[in-house]
């Protein structure tokens, strides 16, 4: 083995070792700081209801999550907190079409999304401005797994339609109007 | 490179990465306990546990977390942030004397404990604003 071959071997082994050990990444800067989007996001995911009966509101939220197919995983009435999850299919027509095209053109078996764990968390609290109102905030996120059971997406669901639909249903079950905060 | 050299190389690499069992991670801390506790804790001038826990929950929600668990008796809140990464945070409170509370936050990013002080500083700055109180260092 000449010197050049030796150095190529050495570099390859070191690179492989570095990749094997994994990259040292930490918490992204700003991940735990308030941003200009914070207020907008709070408004989207919160509504206030004209009642000071926080327990009644949280019970209605629990019933709604159950209606929506969530399994309750945690609750604390004292702190106005509810959490639930549901496991559902994540298969999308577009991805199946993409998989077929990739297989036909390049003979590649592309892994597509297969299932997802969706999480919801509801927090209730008495309004700071008006003690006769209760503020409800709901947040959703999901973990998507592909066909190889590898995580393909970790995300908070930020589409306004989910929040609007949730609060419309909650308003109906409370016989109250959901007002913007 | 002959076979024996190759085997020697493989053995050297495996020794280089150590032979400790991965289960030894169970009671391992990545930094000194005192140093870690100091970086993860702040004192607030309030003795209202419930209000503090509710503010912690609201702050975590503002920061994009989904609340997984909350226990008023234990004084703990656990939440997860998913944004292309998986950041899990447990925040606990305990009284310090009669008029103060110690808030401690510990985070896990992916498969690693967060031992960098900066994310904790960011979190306590956010929490301090929401509490309308200054987050003081623990003595």
Pair of tokens at residue A157: 């669901």
Please report residues of A whose CB lies closer than 8 A to that of B15.
none
The whole-number pLDDT of residue A159 equals 94
In the three-class reduction of DSSP (H, G, I as helix; E, B as strand; rest coil), residue B51 is classed as helix
Spatial separation of the C-alpha atoms in residues B89 and B98, rounded to whole Å = 27
Smallest Cα distance from A36 to chain B, Å = 11
Spatial separation of the C-alpha atoms in residues B61 and B127, rounded to whole Å = 11
Measured between CB atoms, which of A17, A137, A141 is closest to B13?
A: A17
Give the residue from A121, A120, A127, A135 showing the smallest Cα distance to A57. Answer: A135
| Interface with chain A: mutation pick from B30, B60, B61, highest number of A CBs within 10 Å | B61
Q: Is the pLDDT of residue B13 over 80?
A: no
Regarding beta strands B41-44 and B100-109, do their DSSP bridges make them parallel or antiparallel, or are they unpaired? Answer: antiparallel
Q: What is the pTM of this model?
A: 0.81
The whole-number pLDDT of residue A97 equals 85
In the three-class reduction of DSSP (H, G, I as helix; E, B as strand; rest coil), residue A72 is classed as strand
Query: pLDDT class for B98, splitting at 50, 70, 90?
Result: very high
* Residues of chain B with a CB closer than 8 angstroms to some CB in chain A: 1, 9, 13, 16-17, 50, 53-54, 57-58, 61-72, 79-87, 107, 109-110, 114, 116, 118-120, 122-123, 125-126, 129
Helix A54-67 to helix A160-174 angle, to the nearest 10 degrees? 120
Q: Is the pLDDT of residue B23 over 90?
A: no
The whole-number pLDDT of residue B3 equals 74
Residue A152 contacts B, CB cutoff 8 Å: no
Q: Is the pLDDT of residue A19 over 80?
A: no
Residue A32 contacts B, CB cutoff 8 Å: yes
In this prediction, the answer to ipTM > 0.85 reads: no
Q: Is the pLDDT of residue B79 over 60?
A: yes
Share of chain A above pLDDT 90, in %: 64
Share of chain B above pLDDT 90, in %: 66
Test B126 with A32 for CB contact under 8 angstroms: yes
The whole-number pLDDT of residue B14 equals 63
CA distances from residue A160 to A45, A66, A124, B38 in whole angstroms, order as listed: 8, 21, 19, 40
Please report the DSSP string for A123-180 in residue order.
EEEE-SS-TT-EEEEEEEEEEEEETTS-EEEEEE---HHHHHHHHHHHHHHHTS--EE
Q: Is the pLDDT of residue A83 over 80?
A: yes
Spatial separation of the C-alpha atoms in residues A6 and A156, rounded to whole Å = 49
Query: pLDDT class for A126, splitting at 50, 70, 90?
Result: very high
Test B66 with A140 for CB contact under 8 angstroms: yes
Q: What is the mean pLDDT of residues B55-78?
A: 96
The whole-number pLDDT of residue A17 equals 58
At residue A82's C-alpha, the angle toward residues A76 and A86, to 5°, is 140
Mean pLDDT score of chain A, rounded to an integer?
87
Q: What is the mean pLDDT of residues B91-112?
A: 95
Which chain B residue has its CA at the smallest distance from A85's CA?
B68
Share of chain A above pLDDT 70, in %: 86
Residue A31 contacts B, CB cutoff 8 Å: yes
8 Å CB contact between B7 and B1:
no
The whole-number pLDDT of residue B137 equals 75
Please report residues of B whose CB lies closer than 8 A to that of A29.
118
Please report residues of A whose CB lies closer than 8 A to that of B16.
17
Q: What is the mean pLDDT of residues B16-25?
A: 68
Test B68 with A121 for CB contact under 8 angstroms: yes
């Amino acid at each position: 083995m000449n010197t050049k071959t030796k150095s190529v071997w050495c570099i390859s082994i070191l690179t492989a070792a570095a990749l094997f050990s994994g990259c040292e990444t930490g918490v992204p800067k700003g991940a735990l700081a308030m941003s200009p989007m914070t207020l907008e996001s709070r408004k989207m995911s919160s509504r206030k209801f004209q009642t000071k009966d926080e327990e009644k509101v949280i019970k209605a939220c629990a019933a709604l999550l159950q209606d929506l197919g969530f399994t309750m995983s945690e609750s604390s009435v004292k702190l106005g907190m509810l959490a639930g999850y549901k496991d559902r299919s994540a298969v999308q027509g577009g991805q199946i079409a993409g998989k077929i095209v990739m297989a036909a053109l390049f003979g590649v078996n592309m892994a597509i999304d297969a299932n997802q764990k969706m999480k919801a968390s509801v927090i209730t609290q008495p309004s700071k401005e008006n003690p006769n109102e209760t503020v409800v905030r709901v947040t959703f996120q999901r973990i998507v797994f592909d066909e190889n059971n590898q995580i393909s997406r970790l995300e908070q669901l930020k589409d306004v339609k989910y929040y609007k639909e949730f609060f419309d249903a909650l308003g109906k079950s409370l016989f109250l109007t959901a007002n913007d905060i | 490179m002959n076979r024996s050299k190759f085997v020697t190389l493989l053995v050297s690499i495996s020794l280089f990465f150590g032979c400790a069992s991965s289960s030894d991670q169970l009671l391992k801390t990545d930094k000194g306990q005192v140093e870690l506790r100091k970086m993860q804790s702040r004192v607030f001038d309030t003795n209202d546990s419930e209000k503090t826990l509710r503010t912690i929950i609201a702050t975590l929600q503002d920061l994009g977390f989904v609340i997984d668990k909350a226990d008023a008796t234990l004084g703990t809140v656990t939440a997860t942030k998913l944004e292309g990464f998986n950041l899990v945070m447990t925040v606990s409170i305990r009284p310090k004397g009669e008029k103060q509370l110690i808030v401690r936050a510990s985070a896990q990013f992916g498969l690693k404990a967060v031992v960098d002080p900066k994310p904790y500083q960011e979190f306590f700055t956010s929490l301090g604003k929401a509490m309308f109180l200054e987050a003081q260092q623990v003595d």
